[in-house]
């Protein structure tokens, strides 16, 4: 009976969960054991045909038999070896020679991570390109920028999307960089010295690495150093936080009082509230934000796993069974969810324009200060004089432009025509177009990289 939500259809795609299910895990472990026998065969430590024979025999290893053996001997990897031994005939004598459990376990984990990160990388790239398209589509849709939750200066919706596209692309770059440290194999024996292989250790390791299609780590003890897994989990949390950022922005912009963008809602089918028929809640973005909290929580045990006793202890094992597969399955769910939100995002230009003018033009005060500076006014003097006029507009409940037009100091430097031009938000967007283009060029470069 499923208990964890990822064991149901609620979170994570079937594609990524197939990488981490029990049957798949067994096949990865068997693949590592087969690779070892093939490497031994290449060096004359197993007879010709041993690798192929063991590979065929491995197809007959059943998960329930492995569990049956493990229940008896209390050792996860030896249960796999024993189950494989039972079906390997005379070739069973060559199984696991010179290896320790984590040579097989850590190598199998790397194979799982390679396959799961291929899925994640594909999803990240898709999201980055989707955000790029949205940035182009809404490049010139002027809206109010907000800092501290308050109206700031104008921005465009496309500018926002370009910012998010770059952040997703940076996480894609980070993933490609960390893979060379995370996706490695090992074959060093009990303390990492390859002692059982005498002077053939490095050569056997090289062939083993070729069969599992992973480069060997530079050096290791009985286990791969756990800073590698910590980096992966930290990256998952970092990427999740970037997705949380996008989701949080959409949630805020979907507030009833703002309603500039909103998640797609299937009217006539979808239910927003069990008691209030009018509700259309941003539930997918809220899910993304909630799952990001879980992933950030995994960073502490990942870091705690780095210091192990001497050449290793077993304190890392139990929590890795949670944090490694769950980090990737949850991140997969978040990527699918936020991509769906962006694809079906509702944009309300009329509300964007209404909110842009909510302060009667006061949100464009920086444009006035800047123009006064360019006309020779001391910046500090310009700032405080305009600030006084902003407050006057607010207290007297009259438009900012009207206050400016009646002010003697302002009239000395700026005509009515100047004020009309300066108080158009589309005229105070600076280099937004070039900045968007620069950002999208970066996204294209990252997404086109192999």
Residue 269 has pLDDT above 90, yes or no: no
**For residue 308, is it within any domain?**
yes
Do 208 and 35 contact (CB within 8 A), yes or no? Answer: yes
**Considering 353, 381, 406, which residue would you say is the last residue of a domain?**
353
Residue 19 has pLDDT above 80, yes or no: yes
* In a shared domain, residues 261 and 339: yes
Residue 333 has pLDDT above 80, yes or no: yes
* In a shared domain, residues 334 and 407: no
Q: With 0.75 as the threshold, say if the pTM is over it.
A: yes
**How does pLDDT run across 80-118, given as a tens digit for each residue?**
999 999 999 999 999 999 999 999 999 999 999 999 999
Number of domains in the chain: 2
Integer Cα distance of 222 and 106 in angstroms: 10
* In a shared domain, residues 257 and 394: no
Do 42 and 207 contact (CB within 8 A), yes or no? Answer: yes
**Considering 353, 384, 408, which residue would you say is the last residue of a domain?**
353
**For residue 439, is it within any domain?**
no
* In a shared domain, residues 159 and 225: yes
Strand duo 150-156 + 142-147: pairing: antiparallel
**How does pLDDT run across 244-261, given as a tens digit for each residue?**
999 999 999 999 999 999
How sure is the predictor about 4, in pLDDT bands with cuts at 50, 70 and 90? confident
The CATH number covering residue 156 comes to 1.20.200.10
* In a shared domain, residues 171 and 28: yes
How sure is the predictor about 9, in pLDDT bands with cuts at 50, 70 and 90? confident
Residues tagged active-site: 148, 273
User: 144 φ, ψ to 5°?
Assistant: -80, 135
**How does pLDDT run across 352-373, given as a tens digit for each residue?**
999 999 999 999 999 999 999 9
Sole residue written with tokens 């283009």: 437
* In a shared domain, residues 312 and 189: yes
* In a shared domain, residues 157 and 306: yes
* In a shared domain, residues 232 and 371: no
CB atoms closer than 10 angstroms to residue 375 = 12
Helices 101-137 + 315-343 axis angle, to 10: 20
**How does pLDDT run across 115-173, given as a tens digit for each residue?**
999 999 999 999 999 999 999 999 999 999 999 999 999 999 999 999 999 999 999 99
Q: In terms of residue numbers, what domain contains 335?
A: 5-353
Q: Tell me the mean pLDDT in the region 205-214.
A: 98
* In a shared domain, residues 287 and 383: no
**For residue 134, is it within any domain?**
yes
Burial class (CB in 10 A: 0-12, 13-18, 19+), 285: buried
**For residue 160, is it within any domain?**
yes
Residues with Cβ within 8 Å of residue 240, at least 6 apart in sequence? 291, 292, 295, 296, 330, 331, 334
Question: What is the DSSP annotation of 233-249?
Answer: HHHHHHHHHHHHHHHHH
**Considering 333, 353, 373, which residue would you say is the last residue of a domain?**
353
Do 342 and 134 contact (CB within 8 A), yes or no? Answer: yes
**For residue 70, is it within any domain?**
yes
Q: What pLDDT does 431 receive?
A: 98
* In a shared domain, residues 116 and 223: yes
- Kindly state the percentage of the chain with pLDDT values over 70: 100
Helix (H, G, I), strand (E, B) or coil at 156: strand
The CATH number covering residue 412 comes to 1.10.40.30
**For residue 442, is it within any domain?**
no
* In a shared domain, residues 347 and 386: no
How sure is the predictor about 272, in pLDDT bands with cuts at 50, 70 and 90? confident
**For residue 444, is it within any domain?**
no
Q: What pLDDT does 271 receive?
A: 82
* In a shared domain, residues 292 and 371: no
**For residue 438, is it within any domain?**
no
Q: What pLDDT does 393 receive?
A: 97
CB atoms closer than 10 angstroms to residue 426 = 11
């Amino acid at each position: 009976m499923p208990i964890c939500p990822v064991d149901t259809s609620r979170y994570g795609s079937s594609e990524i969960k197939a990488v981490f299910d029990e049957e798949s895990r067994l096949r990865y472990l068997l693949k590592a054991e087969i690779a070892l026998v093939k490497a031994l065969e290449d060096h004359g430590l197993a007879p010709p045909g041993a690798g192929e024979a063991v590979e065929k025999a491995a197809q007959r290893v059943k998960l329930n038999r492995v569990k049956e053996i493990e229940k008896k001997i209390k050792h996860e990897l030896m249960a796999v070896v024993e189950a494989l031994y039972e079906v390997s005939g005379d070739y069973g004598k060559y199984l696991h020679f010179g290896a320790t459990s984590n040579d097989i376990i850590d190598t199998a984990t790397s194979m799982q991570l390679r396959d799961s990160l291929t899925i994640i990388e594909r999803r990240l790239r898709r999201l980055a390109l989707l955000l790029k398209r949205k940035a182009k589509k809404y490049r010139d849709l002027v809206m109010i920028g907000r800092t501290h939750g308050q109206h700031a200066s104008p921005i465009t919706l496309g500018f926002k999307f370009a910012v998010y596209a770059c952040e997703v692309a940076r996480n894609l770059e980070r993933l490609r960089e960390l893979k060379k440290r995370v996706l490695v194999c090992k074959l060093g024996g009990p303390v990492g010295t390859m002692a059982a292989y005498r002077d053939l250790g490095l050569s056997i390791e090289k062939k083993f690495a070729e069969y599992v299609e992973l480069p060997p780590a530079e050096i290791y003890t009985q286990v791969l150093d756990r800073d590698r897994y910590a980096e992966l989990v930290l990256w998952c949390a970092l990427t999740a936080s970037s997705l949380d950022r996008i989701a949080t922005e959409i949630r805020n912009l979907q507030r009833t009082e703002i309603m500039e963008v909103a998640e797609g809602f299937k009217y006539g089918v979808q239910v927003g509230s069990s008691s209030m028929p009018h509700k259309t809640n941003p539930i997918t973005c809220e899910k993304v934000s909630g799952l990001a909290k879980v992933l950030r929580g995994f960073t502490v045990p990942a870091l705690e796993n780095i210091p192990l006793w001497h050449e290793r202890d077993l304190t890392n094992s139990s929590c890795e069974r949670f944090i490694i597969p769950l980090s990737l399955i949850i991140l997969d769910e978040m990527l699918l969810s936020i991509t769906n939100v962006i694809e079906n995002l509702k944009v309300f230009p009329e509300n964007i324009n209404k909110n842009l003018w909510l302060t009667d033009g006061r949100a464009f005060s920086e444009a006035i200060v800047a123009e006064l500076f360019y006309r020779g006014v001391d910046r500090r003097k310009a700032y405080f004089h305009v600030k006084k006029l902003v407050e006057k507009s607010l207290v007297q409940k009259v438009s900012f432009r009207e206050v400016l037009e009646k002010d003697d100091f302002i009239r000395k430097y700026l005509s009515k025509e100047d004020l009309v031009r300066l108080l158009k938000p589309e005229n105070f967007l600076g280099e937004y177009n070039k900045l968007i283009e620069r950002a999208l060029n970066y996204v294209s470069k990252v997404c086109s990289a192999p």
